[in-house]
Amino acid sequence: MLAALGIYGVISYSVTRQAQAIGIRMALGASVGRVQRDVLAGTLRLAFAGMALGTLLALAVARLISSLLFATSSWDLPTYLGMAIALLLVAAVSGYIPARRASGLNPMEALRSN
């Protein structure tokens, strides 16, 4: 839950910071759907990169923990897949909500707010 809140906070802040760029794209003729797809694609790229790095680090730490603890496995596929899917869904939702909010802005308001 803490990771989900962290992901949502960082991605929401990142999209909010891009409101002016989104306003410029919309003023130049980008559709609402295109803007939302672009923001969501950027969010998912970051999520996949984070999942790859996190999985590698988790495997390394799991090997260390399994050598220190009794009757633990360093490779638990259902746990790794479950958490990867859950965090990917959180990243997708946390990218979609702010993208939808930002694409609903009037382009002129987004351009003025600097």
pLDDT in tens, 51-84: 899 889 988 888 888 777 776 677 778 888 898 8
Q: Sign of torsion, CA 71 75 78 83?
A: positive
pTM comes to 0.76
Residue 7's nearest CA partner among 36, 41, 44, 35 is 44
